[in-house]
Chains A and B, each alone.
Chain A
Amino acid sequence: MSAVTDLLQQVVEGLGSGAVYASLALALVLIHRFTGIVNFAQGELAMLSTYVAWQLVASGMPFWLALPVTLAVSFAGGMLVERIVIRPVQGAPELTVVIVTVGLFIFVNALAGLIWSFTVKDFPQPFPDGGLDLAGVRVDWSTLGIIGVVAVVMGVLYLLFQHTSIGLVMRAVACNPASARLSGIWVGRVLMLGWGLAATVGAVSGVLVAPVLFLEPNMMGGVLIYAFAAATLGGFDSPVGAVVGGLFVGVAETLTGAYVGVIGADLKVGVPLVIILAVLLVRPQGLFGRAAVERA
């Protein structure tokens, strides 16, 4: 294997992890677009959805039937979470809502451990084993599959944001709920929809990454940090940014971890930090974010 193939192989690995980060980052972007908050529990909700899928498969349901059922359950679950957990603090300071999601994070994580224990579960791989061999570079089908699905979700979200009336409505709600309400928007419903959709996207993410990361209650904890990094880099309101940010973070940390001896695998987590800081100092709204125009 030549140095170039080595390099390309590392890039592929980076894209693989990047796609994992991007998949959850999409859910973070979605909820931020709808509600204007950062949801710390997003990863844990995704993990919970994945357990639902696992439970269905384990009880004998075929995977391709379990998947839509899981997505539907997640959608309903997300809406329920908004109604029960978030609605009561609506209108409270924003940080209060964020801390509620932190509480939700701890709750869901412990709940999953209580129900399913912390033993690693095997999750069915929706994509075939093995992979492509492109001039000596191995690309697993699962990596390609994750990237493909992430691209599709990104496309759907882009269309949703830019080309539907929902997109406009939720932007109004996220910007200023009071004004939105005054102009006849049913704010509560829009927020519920946002949580439902985000939970669904999260469920897709969980189901995608579970065969690679292995399912256990802390599966999404590590991903969440990187997904935050991805969304921050890309701009918190852009699905395209989330995906580009995720892939970029994945490739950058893998390459520096592998090739820059001083940094090494232990400090590679610092790489996205530096990149993000550098990017944000130039573009405080992230790579693909829109600058918030303020009326002061």
Chain B
Amino acid sequence: MNTITAALGTDRARRPRAALTVLLAAAAAVGAPFYFAPFQVFQLTMVLLYAVALAGLNLLVGFGGQISLGHGAFFAAGAYTAAVMLDRYDTGHLATLPAAAAGCFLLGLGFGVPALRLRGLYLALVTLSFAVFLPPLLKRLEPVTGGSMGLTVDKLQPPAWSGLAEDQWTYFVVLAVTVVALLLARNLLRSRVGRALLAVRDNESAAEVMGVRLSLHKTLAFAWSAMFAGVAGCLYTWVIGFVSPDSFSFVLSITLLAGLVVGGLASLYGPLLGAAFVMYVPSVSQDVSEAAPGVVFGLLIITVMFVAPTGLAGLPGRVLGAVSRRLPRTTAALDRTPEADSVPETDSVPEADSVPEAEPKSPAGSRPATTLTPADPAVVDAEPVGAPPRTEKE
């Protein structure tokens, strides 16, 4: 938390630089579909779509400290909402987005209530069984969902005025939704809700003592998170144009969680990196070994976790940290930012840079999911800064 204040302090000085970054990133994002082949544009679209789901999961796992192995189910719910609306009621694509978002928000809210009682492991496994249960349920509701044959619906079609190809148009629509979703996630985190969430994750009791309404925030975290997954699912239907129950097996939920952790928990770029990993690495694995892509994919997951235990988003910080420690002290002092920049990461990151070779130094602070002990004084000290006022109302 104290790092946030540090970051805020220098915010003004950074603004032009940040604006330039954003501008360049935007230029790249807008230019991409005009440069890359349609197939690659499709891949980028899928990356964006998964990034939305991962950003939602990040709210819950990274910032809320609750593990969900059931987000594939919310993803499926969003996808099916869109598909059923398109298939049965012919509503047009745009109408499906708010419906999927609202539906999944409510679903998440419903799930968030029992989730309050559960923590860590137990929550993870209950959500996992939800994900296991959904495909047979979808098959059972055949009159609505099309049963195990699934539903084929229209993909997004570019309007004539745009002059764009189908893949480009789809890309831009998904890009727009993704940008809005990611900004929403960011603002959510900077708002009271986000600060409350962080406080709850870092030390539940302390947060409660300071007036954070635990149950409300934990339930809301679930609902927001489910909403993002639902939006991603809706985009999925737009892009793929086909849903079937077996596309949303529990493997999807586990893949999402793995993608998030590989990308980087509690990081703003993490979801994008994780989505790229989920999207590209399986194909790369096949290029390496056609006989058994799974062997390579499994190894790559393990390797990434070895190299970047806090996820890919934390990697540059770790590398720079390691480098600056080896360089003369002065250089490191000039570059005072590595810590400040790693704000969104788990608390133990700055001091645990050398995790792989060292024995655990702060075992407690780095466990967002399970019981937390106040072993890390920094966490407790930092609380007052970010904690919302007692009288907080939503």
Chains A and B in contact, CB within 8 Å = yes
Residue of A nearest to B304 (CB): A103
Using known A-B contacts A100-B305, A104-B302, A108-B298, determine if residue A91 contacts B360 with beta carbons closer than 8 Å: yes
- Chain A 245-275 against B: per-residue CB contact (8 Å), 1 yes, 0 no? 0000000000000000000001101101100
Assess whether B292 is in contact with A100, with CB atoms less than 8 Å apart: no
Query: Which chain A positions have C-beta within 8 A of B128?
Result: 225, 228
Name the distance in Å between B215's Cβ and chain A's nearest Cβ.
14
Assess whether A95 is in contact with B126, with CB atoms less than 8 Å apart: no
Whether B389 is near chain A, meaning CB under 8 Å from some CB there, is no
- Chain B 110-149 against A: per-residue CB contact (8 Å), 1 yes, 0 no? 0000100111011011101110110011011000000000
A108 to B292, CA, bound (A): 11
- Chain B 349-386 against A: per-residue CB contact (8 Å), 1 yes, 0 no? 00010011011111110111111111100000000000
Whether B265 is near chain A, meaning CB under 8 Å from some CB there, is yes
Assess whether B117 is in contact with A284, with CB atoms less than 8 Å apart: yes
Assess whether A89 is in contact with B305, with CB atoms less than 8 Å apart: yes
A89 to B352, CA, bound (A): 12
Query: Which chain B positions have C-beta within 8 A of A292?
Result: 371
Query: Which chain A positions have C-beta within 8 A of B125?
Result: 38, 228-229, 231-232, 276
Assess whether A176 is in contact with B363, with CB atoms less than 8 Å apart: yes
Interface size on B, residues (CB 8 A): 69
Assess whether B136 is in contact with A296, with CB atoms less than 8 Å apart: no
Name the distance in Å between A277's Cβ and chain B's nearest Cβ.
6
Using known A-B contacts A88-B306, A111-B292, determine if residue A178 contacts B137 with beta carbons closer than 8 Å: no
User: Which of A36, A109, A176, A295 is within 8 Å of B294, CB to CB?
Assistant: A109
| Other A-B pairs beyond A94-B367, A96-B310, A225-B250, 20, CB < 8 Å | A36-B370, A38-B124, A89-B305, A89-B356, A90-B359, A91-B359, A91-B363, A92-B352, A93-B310, A93-B366, A95-B67, A102-B254, A103-B297, A106-B297, A107-B299, A114-B292, A177-B360, A232-B125, A270-B133, A280-B117
The 4 A-B pairs with the shortest beta carbon distances in the complex, nearest first, are A110-B294, A107-B298, A91-B360, A103-B301
28 A/B residue pairs, CB under 8 Å, sorted by A: A32-B121, A36-B370, A85-B302, A90-B360, A93-B346, A95-B368, A96-B261, A102-B258, A103-B299, A106-B294, A106-B297, A107-B294, A107-B297, A108-B298, A109-B294, A109-B298, A229-B125, A229-B129, A266-B140, A267-B133, A269-B132, A269-B136, A280-B118, A280-B126, A281-B117, A284-B118, A294-B205, A294-B372
